[in-house]
Amino acid sequence: MQVLVGKKAPVFKAKAVVSGGEIITDFSLEQYIGKKYVIFFFYPKDFTFVCPTELHAFQEKLAEFEKRDTALVACSTDTEQSHWGWLQMDKNHGGIKGITYPVVADTNKTISYNYGVLNGTYDVSDEGEMLATSEMIAYRGLFLIDKKGLVRHQLINDLPLGRNVDEAIRMVDALQFNEENGEVCPANWTKGSDGLKASHSGIADYLAKH
């Protein structure tokens, strides 16, 4: 697992399903540089159990991300055809119909590998046979990318552990607060709360008030 915080988000071009049903062949996060923040998140598999709860939870808060000038993009190692089929399946049957943000197909697993979220590695046996140490699917990785294309926050959960979408929103708020005010965000900071100046006097003043 690599730490990407503070580094340029790895670039890629891949097939993706956009607007709930259109397959495109050259989707890239580079389209957002200089224009939007991005929450780029990985999930393990289509047609599973925890994954649709997460994708729908992000969709339900899409307007909140858009108000914050933030794009949502999902990705798994399934094919674009698999994504498309899952997008046609109703929510009450375990599908993700109604998801409108892009869903990227990392079929060759290079995006997951470059973002450090690929579950498993390849090896070669003594007999020269290619082996995989695990399923070679993506962990539940989430990356907040700023308008310069830098990763400012990352979170990686194991396969059975779903994420908190409100926490992703809070991190967007914290980043934007820091950029706008020059103050840092203390523990449990939420939008509308006080920040603090990054100095001894600043922390002293903050702790005295709280």
Mean pLDDT of 1-27: 95
Active-site residue flag, 75: no
pLDDT tens per residue across span 77-112 = 999 999 999 999 999 999 999 999 999 999 999 999
Q: Is residue 4 part of a domain?
A: no
pLDDT for 133 equals: 87
Asked if 105 contacts 78 with a C-beta cutoff of 8 angstroms, the reply is: yes
Q: Is residue 2 part of a domain?
A: no
Q: Are residues 110 and 83 in the same domain?
A: yes
- Give me the domain span that covers residue 120: 14-162
Q: Is residue 7 part of a domain?
A: no
For residue 52, the SS3 value is helix
Stated as kind and residue range, the H or E segment containing 168 is helix 165-181
Q: How far are the Cα atoms of 170, 176, 183, 188 from residue 192, in angstroms, in the given order?
A: 11, 12, 13, 12
Q: Are residues 170 and 117 in the same domain?
A: no
Q: How many domains does the chain have?
A: 2
**What does the mean pLDDT of the chain come to?**
94
Instruction: Flag whether the pTM goes above 0.85.
Output: yes
For residue 209, the SS3 value is helix
Q: Are residues 85 and 173 in the same domain?
A: no
Sign of the torsion angle spanned by Cα atoms 163, 100, 95, 136: negative
Q: How confident is the model at residue 126 (pLDDT cuts 50, 70, 90)?
A: confident
Of 51, 55, 151, 175, the catalytic one is 51
Residue 178, token pair as written in the block: 């820091």
Q: Are residues 172 and 88 in the same domain?
A: no
pLDDT tens per residue across span 24-64 = 999 999 999 999 999 999 999 999 999 999 999 999 999 99
